[in-house]
Structure 1
């Protein structure tokens, strides 16, 4: 009789113990873990969808100027301006050069319809990036972020942004960074962006309402969405994409799509 009374009590205690263990296990999960062991970063931003514009290393609306010899790995296109405004030469591009008409480099492919859609997608991507709300960081460093390590999130700068010394962008391969710049974006000469922890350039978006300038021999990481021009000074390099709503200027520069 005593045994019969003890059994239910023991079962209840065991169930309570197991429930408590389950709670501990769930609570011990880091924000980036899920029960099926997949990685889903907590609070991760949705990427900016580039559409067709994401198939270019360089896409502009008013041309691509160039000081020989530059190097572009990826497609190049400009629209609605004539192909005569695309001044990179065929040997400088590992990819396809798209033009709206018969003008332009000898190796170009004429496809005005594709370019029109690509530019519309570029503008939509810019609007998406600029329209993100509730930034994780507001006017970090008062608009001067040299020497900093930047974790994933939405960064908003209410005026110009300067990168005067080296910075690191650190996070996992699925993490996303969006930088909203209400002004110019300038990287000083010989400054570098370094990726750490598996961060990928394809998940880093720099949206600037005014001109973007990458200094002499500097190195940049990420996708630039500029409402005006993007200027790479002598020897500047980028692992990313140059998507400009006016012109892109290269000066013996290297552009490699991620």
Structure 2
């Protein structure tokens, strides 16, 4: 029986092909999974500088302290809220209120569309939570919930129906987590208990009621109905940025439109100097992810290596055939 003689260069090709094959496997293995990627903040756009946005009415009882803009669209009824109560600008059915309400709608749809980290949540009290998306049919808070994370940690709470916090309940931030990255997406109405403390932006489809002496470090943003206050303190963190406003898919959700002619942009409707005018909306045109955020360069590199390995394998087979004939 004749022996097959393998030329030394063929052995080198075998070793090189094996090494390249291993490189392909490693390259693919190091591509980050979207499931493990950090949760992105919900972009609020021009609503970032608003402490209160309502759809139909804003009603206040007692002396409230509101640090931020106040907007209402398409309704016009604001009752019991004095100019001295608002450290910002009140926008009533003007172009600024329209844009803020539109951005609230977009933010609501964005938060509602996130994939839950944990589903079936009903009671938050007594828990310490890390960054993630927590979803339930209804959400309640009795006692204290602690949100532990750093300045980039994002906490999104989704409820198909109501959010109800008990009297004296609290949301506590630890580890450097900020109110800028806490969002409460509420499928119907939110009710905040007497003397309770809430952190983050409430995005409610219907209405929001803050009972007596409630403190909110964030925003109360209602799409369709009223925001009701009673000696409420609301403070918007000045360090929060507008973020990227992610529009809903085509046909998903509606955007408010300004009725009739005239914008009602008379005296008293000039937005705060720090309000991001148009910047957040225009950022939606950038649909490309940040460089390397989804591992594209690694995928391209792996494909190139795979092609090269295949070519070398073909060359190896040709050379092996020649060696067998010798």
TM normalised by structure 1 equals: 0.76
Residues 78 and 86, structure 1, Cα contact 8 Å, conserved in 2: no
Q: Pick one of 108, 114, 117 that aligns with 2:96.
A: 114
C-alpha deviations, 1:57-79, integer Å up to 9, x for none? 11111121000211101111101
Match of 1:6 in 2: none
Q: Which runs of 5 or more residues in structure 2 are unaligned? A: 1-29, 238-326
Match of 2:105 in 1: 123
Q: Secondary structure in 2 aligned to 1:85?
A: strand
Match of 1:224 in 2: 202
> 1 or 2 for the larger relative contact order (CA 8 Å, sep ≥6)?
2
1:55-94 pair list within 5 angstroms: 55-82=49-76, 84-94=77-87
Residues 179 and 205, structure 1, Cα contact 8 Å, conserved in 2: yes
Q: Pick one of 244, 253, 258 that aligns with 2:222.
A: 244
Q: Secondary structure in 2 aligned to 1:137?
A: coil
Match of 1:212 in 2: 190
TM normalised by structure 2 equals: 0.60
Residues 150 and 168, structure 1, Cα contact 8 Å, conserved in 2: yes
Match of 2:120 in 1: 139
C-alpha deviations, 1:205-225, integer Å up to 9, x for none? 110001101100000000110
Match of 2:12 in 1: none
Question: Over alpha carbons, which structure has the higher Rg?
Answer: 2
Alpha-carbon distance, 1:85 to partner: 2.7
Match of 1:182 in 2: 160
Task: Give the distance between the partners of 1:190 and 1:167, measured in 2 at CA.
Answer: 12
Task: Give the distance between the partners of 1:170 and 1:144, measured in 2 at CA.
Answer: 17
Residues 98 and 115, structure 1, Cα contact 8 Å, conserved in 2: yes
Q: Pick one of 171, 180, 183 that aligns with 1:202.
A: 180
Q: Which runs of 5 or more residues in structure 1 are unaligned? A: 1-26, 32-41, 101-111
Alpha-carbon distance, 1:248 to partner: 0.6
Runs of 4+ in 1 over 6 A off after TM superposition: none
Match of 1:95 in 2: 88
Size of the alignment, in residue pairs?
203
C-alpha deviations, 1:162-214, integer Å up to 9, x for none? 10111111100011111111110011001111100000001001100011011
